Amino acid sequence: MLGVVLITCTLYSALTSATELTFKLPDSEKQCFYQELEEGVTFHVDYQVIAGGNYDIDCFVTDPFNNALYEERRKQYDSFTHTTAMKGVYAVCFSNEFSTFSHKTVYLDFRSGEDDQLPPGMNKPTALTQMESTCLSIHEILKVVADTQTKYRLREAQDRIRAEELNVRVSYWSVGEALIICVVSIGQVLMLKSFFKEKNTTRT
């Protein structure tokens, strides 16, 4: 039913969890992902359609009482941030029900909580030392590097899928041209052969 291509889970700290996954969503189907969160937790949802049809999909985010927190239709990519008002199970759903024959490949990045920018033991209500300031700078730079790598990885996957589709089309076109050339060649040979064939005449 649903082929999960890639699942990568990363824990930044005890207070932060992040999940990245790329999955295939068949036509006329809907897929939901669920996460139990505490009250007052901030979560981020980033998604992008990297293959299939017109690169569009419906996305919905609901709270534990099934109230819509986010609802967008026919989007190629978007992001959403929300702070929970209650404890419970939150759902992120993707729908391809409007499509009748196009399968979609969707990338999802789900992050919840706030990450500790300093290692354990350095969190204290005092002025930051030079080492702590350096740790903060490295942390922010690494976040930028990770986001940039994700962006280029998605672009590479999208371009690779397009190149593979183009290669398949060119291969089919080449095979079709070869068949047409063979049929035309055989037809020409038979036609020329018929010109030099003696016709039997019947005398009465």
Within-domain flag for 200: no
- Do 25 and 92 lie in a common domain? yes
Q: Indicate whether 103 pLDDT > 50.
A: yes
Cα–Cα dist 124/187, whole Å: 88
- Do 156 and 67 lie in a common domain? no
Q: Indicate whether 17 pLDDT > 70.
A: yes
* Tens digit of each residue's pLDDT (9 = 90 or more) over 104-160: 999 999 998 876 555 555 555 556 678 777 878 887 888 788 888 888 888 888 888
Residue type, 112: S
Q: Indicate whether 88 pLDDT > 90.
A: yes
Q: Indicate whether 50 pLDDT > 70.
A: yes
User: What average pLDDT does the chain have?
Assistant: 82
Exposed e or buried b per residue across 152-176, where buried means at least 16 C-beta atoms within 10 angstroms of its C-beta: eebeebbeeeeeeeeeeeeeeeeee
Report the candidate in 98, 91, 83 with the shortest Cα–Cα distance to residue 67: 91
Coil/strand/helix, residue 122: coil
- Do 14 and 112 lie in a common domain? yes
In this structure, the strands spanning 42-51 and 77-83 are antiparallel
Range of the domain at 90: 4-116
Within-domain flag for 121: no
- Do 112 and 38 lie in a common domain? yes
In the sheet that holds 57-62, the strands lie side by side as: 30-37, 88-95, 57-62, 68-75
- Do 67 and 103 lie in a common domain? yes
Split into its structural domains, the chain has a count of 2
Give mean pLDDT, residues 161-176: 90
Within-domain flag for 67: yes
Name the more confident of 34 and 142. 34
Within-domain flag for 124: no
pTM above 0.75, yes or no: no
Within-domain flag for 122: no
